[in-house]
Chain A
Amino acid sequence: MIPEIGHFALILALSLAVCQSVLPMIGAQRNDAALMSIARTAAYGQFLFVAISFACLTWAFAHDDFSVLYVANHSQLSLPAGYKISAVWSAHEGSLLMWILILAAWTMAVARFTSEVPDILRSRVIGVLGFLSVGFLLFALLTSNPFERLIPAALDGADLNPLLQDPGLAIHPPLLYIGYVGFSVAFAFAIAAMIGGDLDQNWARWTRPWTVVAWLFLTLGIALGSWWAYYELGWGGWWFWDAVENASFMPWLIGTALIHSLAVTERRGLFKSWTLLLSISAFSLSLLGTFLVRSGIIVSVHAFATDPTRGFFILGFLGVVVIGALALYAWRAPSLDSNVGFSLLSRETFLLLNNVLLVVATILVLMGTLAPLVVEMLNGGKISIGPPWFEVAFMVPMIPLVLLLGLGMHTAWRKQSKDPWIRLLRTPVIVAVIIGIVLPLMFYGRVSLLLVVGCAAAAWIVISSLIQPIRSWRRKQGATAITRSALGMSIAHLGMGLFVIGVTIVSAFGVESDRAMRPGETLEVAGFAFELREVRDVQGPNYTAIEGVVEVRRDGEFIAMVRPQKRQYLVQKNWMTEAGIHPTWNKDLFIALGDQLGNDTWSVRIQYKPMISFIWIGCFIMALGGLVTVSDRRYRKSAS
């Protein structure tokens, strides 16, 4: 009964979404207040019914209702209660429902927090969001109904994939989706502005906080996914340039460009059509990502098990959205741009470069991701592109980007006069270069050109993002108090600097060693002694495990006892590596237990990962910067 209610609620949500996508649009066209006022109500109603539907599916999981096919496939009686809930979004159908729920939640938030936005614009924004909801609800109802029954019911479920039985992965998809789907708001604002043929600086001020919030969730989601891959996939990498990872990374890159371009549009009324194009692209890339992940056309370790009709549906929807949006753009955007000049040395120039470089980076990632598809379609054989390519290609636009970042932050809008600019930045540049040479030499005893570039760039970003906050903090009484949005920018850039340090140091000085080891044996890796004390059997709630007990010492001094495991989950019988990690702020010691090699010997992977925590700390601080930015007074005014 409950699953049928869920299914029915989803159908009702679809009818409301249809109303929400059509009526307010007509109302806005005719300036009919009654029709426009439907937008809000429909948005609230749609959210309510999607939430009921989601709650029904969750109920089915919580009560082990194995007469529901999706539950039977992805849960199991002895699964811990928390994972029964997160199992709701562990596979295609449920995660699609969560996607829809999040879209409805964003729509409701737009309906609620846009009292400053004129009715006509708001109605159109909600209408566009309604159209997107219709697409996804149809997708769920026609191809991916999570409430499909299994008759006769299964006695027990097939269990949740053990890799997903992890707190990191329980919250990774929701965060990622909040980010992905959040770009739909910027998209809707862009479409609404183009339909209305009117785009001013207020438009950018209204759009910007929504975009920043979406961006910050996407940042957190990606960082969490990378962290999960690091400790849960068991082999110590943190980014694999896998097609699915790239699918989440491309919207992030374009979203980052969009935030910066919105800043120019808001402050100076420039880059309007560019901002529109980025708004369209960010969400289109989110859809493309969904398509790549769920259609199974791309080889990926993360791909969902799939069915081709789903691929066709999303591809069709993607086509409608992208072609429609671009056609509207081609028709309307040229009339929107205003002609205001700016001099060569101005913040506008730097933000333009930022955008160009981020777009180039996105195109390179897109090329690498789609190349296997294109080559196969041209009968060129089945190829794959190795991560080293992405590393090289990505670095090409990123190095100038991080170097220019610090300059741009200290450049005035419109026109910056040269002398004070050079006076301000001369010392930080010199200091950064010195740090870039000294830091790796001092702590790691080795230096190379790339290393100097990386460390100097990181130091440069950190120093230059601290200049403004420190100055304003020093002369607190003065009138030059830093605004929240400027502070947010500094914090986000600081996070970027820490991220660059982490990446540079861990890729240059990380040590990885695969060895065969017997109990009692000691191995030396990166100056640490790892002694395998014993290998024993342990029992978990729904798995049994073989556990290695490894004592780590440095110069004879005890550092830590690390316990890597190999788990066998009772239902699916899969073996899974649970790495043992000893994390400290400036390094991780990572041990994974491999197979038994016979003769009481085990294969062991030992890794030394200096500064790796800075990668995730950096991402977290970037997201924090976004949060500080949206708390700026000028956005709160529009929110209340």
Chain B
Amino acid sequence: MKPRQQRMLAVGLALSGVAIAAALTFRAFDENMMFFVEISDVLAGEYPQERNFRIGGLVVEDSIAREEGSLAMTFRVTDMRCEVGVEYVGVLPDLFREGQGVVAHGRMGGEGIFVADKILAKHDENYMAPEVAESLAQHVDEQLQPLYEGSTECNSG
């Protein structure tokens, strides 16, 4: 091959390498992108069907239940308007407690239960994930305003 052809070949190879790498990267990006879905939307069925997503809110008081001696547990999460049941098997983070903010990663199982594969509670007890704080604040506001009454009902169907 002439040097010129050689160079063209090298450039061609490099470009196709870059293209493949870019394609892989974008595919992985799409696969690992996770949406935060408000609990009211979850109950209304408005959530990604075929992939994991995140929900967040406060752990409802007295809602934690577990089989004795097993890692499996259930609890309920509220956004101050609606509640959803969560099922989880595994070790919980230190700051997981009733009444505290949590974020759960997972997807909807049958019977309207959110099956979590990861539970996050934050390092600092004063810190709350902004999206959770926002979602809570919004609904607390709504409850304070009777105008919104019509919309505060949960669409749990």
Contacts and interface: CB of A to CB of B under 8 A. Distances in A.
Nearest to A573: B125
Contacts of A299: 129-131
Given A296-B130, A574-B95, A592-B91, A389 B70 contact: no
B25 A597 contact: no
Interface in B47-71: 54, 66, 68-71
B68 A598 contact: yes
B34 A601 contact: no
A381 B41 CA distance: 12
Contacts of B125: 572, 574
Given A299-B130, A598-B66, A386 B124 contact: no
Contact of A516 (B24, B54, B70, B94): B70
Nearest to A73: B126
A26 to B, nearest CB: 45
A497 interface: no
Nearest to B26: A393
B131 to A, nearest CB: 5
A381 B71 contact: no
Interface string A551-592: 000000000000000100000101111000000000000001
Given A382-B131, A516-B70, A594 B92 contact: yes
A381 to B, nearest CB: 5
Interface residues of B, number: 32
A327 interface: no
Contacts of A566: 94
A301 interface: yes
Given A301-B122, A392-B24, A515-B71, A234 B94 contact: yes
B77 to A, nearest CB: 16
A511 to B, nearest CB: 15
Interface in B87-139: 90-92, 94-95, 120, 122-127, 129-131
A541 to B, nearest CB: 20
10 closest cross-chain pairs (CB), A and B: A389-B32, A382-B36, A601-B69, A386-B32, A594-B91, A392-B28, A598-B68, A599-B69, A599-B68, A396-B21
Interface of B: 21, 24-25, 28-29, 31-36, 54, 66, 68-71, 90-92, 94-95, 120, 122-127, 129-131
Given A518-B69, A597-B71, 13 more contacts: A163-B123, A301-B123, A384-B54, A385-B34, A386-B34, A388-B32, A389-B31, A396-B25, A574-B95, A597-B68, A597-B70, A598-B66, A603-B90
